[in-house]
Structures are given as structure tokens and as C-alpha cells.
Amino acid sequence: MKVLIVHAHYEPQSFNTALKDLAVETLTGAGHEVRVSDLYAMNWNPVASAADFAAPSNPDYCVYALEQRKAFESGALAADIQGELDKVEWCDLLILNFPIFWFSVPAILKGWIDRVFVSGRFYGGKRIYDKGGMSGKKAMTTLTLGGQNHMFGPNAIHGEMDVLLRPILRGALAYCGFAVLPPHVAYHVPYVSPEARQMMLQYYRKRLLTIDQATPLIFPRMEDFDEKLYPKVSQEIVR
């Protein structure tokens, strides 16, 4: 399997980086091919703008998604975007590795998604969810945060983890057609003992070694919706 890890942490000594390094070691040792995009080390530009297109179709007014589509078709995307797009095209599994910032991904990772998930290739029209451009590929999020496990759940103070991650799991990955694997979450990272961190790493290693067997999360299927994207009404409900 070909694996692309997109790493979004500024500190080389962080636990998030340790998770990335472990993933490289474990997956490579298991016979997979692994590439890493270390966004901070790359000095990745997270700002989507008209400068992303070598020959914009409308130099006076930029509609970003439309310009993405046209630039993708004509081969006029900025070189840094094209380079990351080529990596995603190459991979079978995309792993996004990041810390939670304000119930979301770091700005540098959000900017990577904004610029690399190109309209016309990743999605477009009704080419979404199971019909999206990345259909046939898998994706997983590996994340760290300061909160404890009991703080996330139906009646917990921060709410449910899948709701917190909905913008990335559903709004980006599933929307573009990836089969989204359950997220890997490391809780309370800044405050736990070195021994606890080692246990977390051991658990992640086991997860990675069985990643081929992971069951994807369930998201909408286009066949369950009509031409106007209303849910189809079953005959039993009609009767």
C-alpha cells in the first residue's frame, strides 16, 4: 500500500511528531511505501489566492473553485499545489497527522486542504461522497489534544468527538470520496507521563499494523438521493 502522511505540527520534538515518525517506521517495516509532507518544514503556504493559477481565466475576479477546475484541466496550477496533488494521486491511504486547535485543524493544514483538494479532480457537481474524485482511496486522521477522554461524548462538556471532527471527516475527506477510517485520538497529551505516552505509541503501532482491516465510517451514498439531492422516499413511507 502507498501511504501519504501529511504532518502539521511546528515542533519536531512533539508527541504529534512522534506519532508521525512511528507511522513511517511501522508502515515501512510492514512493507508499505510511505511519503511525508511535513507542512511546517516545507514552509507550506496555506493562503488560497489568485496567485495559485498561472493563467487565470478571469484576471479581474477570482472564483477560486472555478479557477481551480480550469487550472487543473490546463495544467496551470501553482507548482507547490501540483506537487502535493501528485502525492495524493500516488497514495492509496492519506493520513492527516495534527494537533487540535480550537476544535479544528491547524491553519496550515486547513490551507493545505483548501489549495490541494482541487475542484474538478477531488469533487465537482454530483461527484461527491461515494462518487467523489478520491473514490477508491482511504483516509485517516491522527490527532492529539489536551482534553481527557471523559470530556468527549454525548453528555460530555465538549460534546461528541465525531461532531467536533465532522468538518474534516465528512466535509472534506468523505465529501471528496475517500473511505474514511475511524480517527486515532491521543488524549491529554501535554499532561501525561512518559510511560503513558509510550503506551499510546504502542497502541498506535498496533492500530497501524491492522490498518488494512479497518472498517470505514458510514457516510452518505449518492444512490440514496434523487436528482435534486433530496433523500429518496421509500415505498413503505409512501403507503
State the average pLDDT over residues 138-150: 95
Q: How much is the pLDDT for 158?
A: 92
Distances in Å between the Cα of 82 and the Cα atoms of 75, 86, 107 are 9, 6, 20
Over the stretch 99-140, which tens digit does the pLDDT of each residue have? 999 999 999 999 999 999 999 999 999 999 999 999 999 999
As a whole number, mean pLDDT of residues 229-235 equals 79
Confidence of residue 233 (pLDDT cuts 50, 70, 90): confident
Let me know if domain 2-238 sits in CATH 3.40.710.10.
no
Q: What is the pLDDT of residue 229?
A: 93
The H or E element spanning position 143 is strand 138-144
218-231 per-position pLDDT tens digit: 999 999 999 999 99
Task: Select from 143, 138, 134 the least CA-distant residue to 183.
Answer: 143
| Whole-number average pLDDT of the chain | 94
Pairing of strands 184-186, 138-144: parallel
**Tens digits of residue pLDDT in 59-109:** 899 999 999 999 999 999 999 999 999 999 999 999 999 999 999 999 999
Residue 97: which of 211, 186, 175, 167 has the closest Cα? 186
More confident residue, 79 or 239: 79
Domain residue ranges of the chain, discontinuous segments joined by +: 2-238
C-alpha dist (Å) from residue 208 to 3, 39, 52, 235: 11, 22, 35, 43
Alpha carbon distance 157, 155 (integer Å): 7
**For position 6, what pLDDT does the model report?**
98
